[in-house]
């Protein structure tokens, strides 16, 4: 049985924490005893998240695509909370759904800046500190789109594949120093980002897009954020003490069973 206090005394940073998977993960970590630093670009949404959580959380507004801001929120977390035990690189954007000939190069770079560079900066500035202390867990959100190709999702798919590879390289470096690095690969999750995507795909009836997607999932539905949060918490916890360089798929069986 998992202890409800398995994160007691642990300090964990969650990016993209104001909504969706990030907020659900922060809620899970707090319930299990962690001290949590919430990081998000949207300061107003951060305030709302803190009110929702009704807990003593540290909130830092930051843009993960800017290296100096990533270093700054790690510095702040360590100053205010103490040594950081876990980092959940969760912030990400989808980018447009469009044919490759119409994909704007600047937009492509902007998705890379958040989805890939944001993870790189987090690992760059967190792994050496953890390695020096001899422990730590870093989890980054990839996607099942990082394990296969999706039409019209060029930047998103490319960055999520890269997050998987980046994390494996970091796991190889961090392992000898007691630092675990893993990725999380959710399938469809009912968040504001996916709801917006469904409205673009099927503006006349967004629920139709969800039903169509769910038909490809053996469990017959999309995930809810708390279900992915449970997997993130597992990888961050000592329950996963011998798991590193791994990509944990949370997709209701979509790619593993139905292809």
Both structure tokens of 78? 């360590």
Q: What gap in Å lies between CA 188 and CA 201, rounded to an integer?
A: 14
Contact in structure between 44 and 114 (CB atoms under 8 Å): no
Question: CA torsion 139→3→47→86, rounded to 10°?
Answer: -30
What are residue 15's phi and psi, to 5 degrees? -95, 160
Contact in structure between 248 and 231 (CB atoms under 8 Å): yes
Q: What gap in Å lies between CA 88 and CA 236, rounded to an integer?
A: 8
What contacts 57, CB < 8 A, 6 or more positions away? 26, 30, 36, 37, 38, 50
52 catalytic? Reply is: no
Of 52, 135, 154, 156, which one is the catalytic site residue? 156
Active site residues: 156
């Amino acid at each position: 049985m998992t202890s409800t206090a398995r994160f007691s005394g642990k300090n964990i940073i969650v990016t993209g924490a104001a909504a969706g998977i990030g907020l659900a993960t922060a809620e899970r970590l707090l319930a299990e005893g962690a001290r949590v630093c919430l990081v998000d670009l949207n300061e107003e949404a951060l305030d709302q998240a803190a009110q929702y959580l009704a807990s003593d959380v540290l909130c830092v507004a930051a843009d993960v695509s800017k290296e100096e801001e990533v270093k700054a929120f790690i510095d702040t977390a360590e100053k205010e909370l103490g040594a950081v035990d876990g980092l959940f690189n969760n912030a990400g954007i989808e980018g447009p759904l469009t044919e490759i000939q119409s994909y704007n190069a600047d937009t492509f770079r902007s998705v890379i800046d958040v989805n890939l560079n944001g993870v790189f900066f987090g690992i760059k500035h967190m792994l050496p500190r953890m390695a020096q202390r001899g422990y730590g867990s870093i989890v980054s959100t990839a996607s099942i789109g990082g394990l296969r190709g999706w039409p019209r999702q060029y930047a998103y798919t490319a960055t999520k594949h890269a997050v998987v590879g980046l994390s494996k390289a970091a796991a190889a470096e961090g392992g000898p120093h007691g630092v675990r690095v893993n990725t999380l690969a959710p399938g469809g999750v009912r968040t504001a980002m996916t709801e917006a995507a469904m409205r673009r795909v099927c503006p006349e009836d967004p629920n139709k897009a969800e039903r169509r997607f769910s038909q490809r999932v053996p469990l017959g539905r999309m995930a809810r954020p708390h279900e992915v949060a449970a997997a993130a918490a597992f990888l961050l916890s000592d329950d996963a003490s011998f798991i590193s360089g791994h990509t944990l798929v949370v997709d209701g069986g979509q790619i593993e069973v139905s292809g």
